[in-house]
Amino acid sequence: MNQQLITTDSSENIVPICLVSDVEPGEVIQAELSDGHQLAVYNLEGVIYVTDDKCTHGDASLSEDGMVEGDEVECTWHFGRFDIRTGKACAMPCTVPLKTWVVRVKGDQVYVEDDR
């Protein structure tokens, strides 16, 4: 059960990105904002998390080249790791954290707060 409830959907910077049902537990999918910015959407035991999709070490897509292991995603290009919940770089060669996005869920719809 998702604990992230949307309190308002009238704010212009809260944007829909995908459905909860699109992301199986333990999986990651790619979503895209209207300007083409790519996001990685994770389901960790029913809780949705969103980070930037692009690895901070190189051009790998974490939704395509990443492996979710527990609360971390491993980039299979060079085996760097990030904490999905915080974006913290957990294993070399990754040192720069991933941007994480504030997630809101209403029903089956997943939104992010676009704070850029």
Q: Are strands 81-83 and 72-75 parallel, antiparallel or unpaired?
A: antiparallel
Report the nearest approach of ligand FES to the CB of residue 36 (Å): 20
Residue 18 touching ligand FES (CB under 6 A)? no
Q: Tell me if 109 sits within 8 A of 7, measured CB to CB.
A: no
Distance (Å, whole) CA 51 – CA 66: 12
Question: Which residue number is nearest to ligand FES in terms of Cβ?
Answer: 58
Q: Which is nearer to ligand FES, 67 or 102 (CB)?
A: 67
Query: Residues 69 to 98: which contact ligand FES by CB under 6 A?
Result: 75, 77-78, 80, 93-94
Tokens of 31: 């979503």
Start-to-end CA distance of the chain, whole Å, equals 29
Positions that interact with ligand FES (CB under 6 A): 55, 57-58, 60, 75, 77-78, 80, 93-94
